[in-house]
Amino acid sequence: MSESEGIHLLLEQEGPYAFRVSFEGTGLDALHTDEPAPLGAGAGPSPAHLLLAGVANCLSASLVFALRKFKNNPGPIRTRITARRERNAQGRWRLPRAEVEIQLADPAASLGKV
């Protein structure tokens, strides 16, 4: 994919709160999402799970890129992201904050310049 190309997804409803997510133009398998009970059946990851996965992946990949840019070999990293749902003033569920912990395979002190 070139830098100027857009990213295209297609969502098709499969159930009350379940969707098939197609990643157009990629050849990737579709992903099936669903809200947990009582709204959905919990038959796939929820949109909140996907949002947190995207944030954690972006932060992790950015750290690996920065470390490798300065000739470090960080080894495999492990990232945990945690968020708590809260209702806003209108009573709607939101994820107002997330905590991310990224663990390096080796002690940070063993890495060179970052």
pLDDT at 111: 79
Domain count, the chain: 2
Place of tokens 């099936």: 32
Instruction: Decide if 1 is inside a domain.
Output: no
Residue by residue, pLDDT tens for the chain (114 residues) are 566 789 999 999 999 999 999 999 999 999 999 999 999 999 999 999 999 999 999 999 999 999 999 999 889 999 999 999 999 999 999 999 999 999 999 887 787 776
Kindly report each contact of residues 15-21 with a partner whose C-beta sits within 8 Å and lies 24 or more positions away, as own/partner: 15/40, 15/41, 15/43, 16/40, 18/43, 18/44
Residues of the domain holding 70: 46-114
Predicted model pTM:
0.86
19: closest CA among 49, 47, 53? 47
pLDDT at 114: 64
Instruction: Decide if 87 is inside a domain.
Output: yes
